[in-house]
Structure 1
């Protein structure tokens, strides 16, 4: 009886070890598969976001080599204007007009009511065009501007088209 009890306990211990081994080996395999799936999803998401960002930045001075070359006047004896430094300067110069008591003149809108129109966001599209978002707190609009940089680094703006959205 004692021998058969020991045999049953020994068989039970072997079965427990086999089941434990199988459980943990499959758990590791399941964890690895889940990690691979998650990693693949994340890579796909990153690639998708990168593609969308590249598509959205297609019209920007930072990614337009032809527009960047426009500011390289060294071949014609002019001076070189670095577009990396030009972008914040042009943006700041345009936003400085927000301090005007009648509002920013480059929104293309006259003051309506007590609030003045100011420019909120600016994006340089290329070597000649800017698109900007403006508002007076109640009304919102967008404006397409031309900008010019002369040899003395003076920046001038010209309103091309403006659009004011309805309430």
Structure 2
């Protein structure tokens, strides 16, 4: 009786080990398959986002080689790196927000108590800037021309302004 009990326990132990082994091996392959599928989906969505970002940045000085070449003059002393130009131009445009009457390059006078200031700027090419502005209540966008002068200063000129309805 003792031998048959040990035999039954041994068979039970072997069966438990076989079932446990099969469970964990199938679980591992199932997880591996699931991770491959989710990894593929993530790569696809990352590629889609990268494509949308590339499309959105089509009109920008960083991606426009013709506009970048505009700053490569024949005179090597006057070479302006667009990587340094972008923050310089943005800073000069944002410095005009300190004006008590509001930023003069927006093309809008004060409507209420608050002045209009530029919130966000994007340099489109070697000549155009688009800017988002607000006074806290009204919002709008402005298209601004900019020029790099010979003395390496920047001058701005408002071209078009749009004020959204409240």
Secondary structure of the residue aligned to 1:102 is: coil
Mapped to 1, the partners of 2:64 and 2:162 lie a distance apart of 26
For residue 146 of structure 1, report the CA deviation from its aligned partner.
0.7
- C-alpha contact 1:143 1:160 (8 A) present in aligned 2: yes
Mapped to 2, the partners of 1:100 and 1:144 lie a distance apart of 19
CA RMSD of superposed structures (Å):
1.4
2:26 matched residue in structure 1? 26
Mapped to 2, the partners of 1:50 and 1:97 lie a distance apart of 34
For residue 45 of structure 1, report the CA deviation from its aligned partner.
1.8
After superposing on structure 2, the runs of 4+ consecutive aligned residues of structure 1 that deviate more than 3 Å are: 1-4
Mapped to 1, the partners of 2:155 and 2:10 lie a distance apart of 92
Deviates more, 1:6-15 or 1:40-49: 6-15
Q: Which runs of 5+ in 2 are unaligned?
A: none
2:108 matched residue in structure 1? 109
2:36 matched residue in structure 1? 36
- C-alpha contact 1:78 1:151 (8 A) present in aligned 2: no
Aligned counterparts, 1:27-66, within 5 A: 27-66=27-66
What do the CA deviations read for 1:31-88 (whole angstroms, capped 9, x no partner)?
2112212211221121111111111111110111110000000x25661111011011
For residue 9 of structure 1, report the CA deviation from its aligned partner.
2.2
2:88 matched residue in structure 1? 89
Mapped to 1, the partners of 2:140 and 2:158 lie a distance apart of 13
Mapped to 2, the partners of 1:101 and 1:10 lie a distance apart of 91
Mapped to 2, the partners of 1:99 and 1:88 lie a distance apart of 18
- Normalised TM-score (structure 1): 0.93
Q: Which runs of 5+ in 1 are unaligned?
A: none
Secondary structure of the residue aligned to 2:126 is: coil
1:14 matched residue in structure 2? 14
Mapped to 2, the partners of 1:21 and 1:114 lie a distance apart of 75
**Pairing 1:125–2:98 present:** no
Secondary structure of the residue aligned to 1:122 is: strand
- Normalised TM-score (structure 2): 0.94
Name the count of aligned residue pairs: 166
Mapped to 2, the partners of 1:14 and 1:78 lie a distance apart of 84
What do the CA deviations read for 1:68-121 (whole angstroms, capped 9, x no partner)?
000000x25661111011011111111111111111111110111211111111
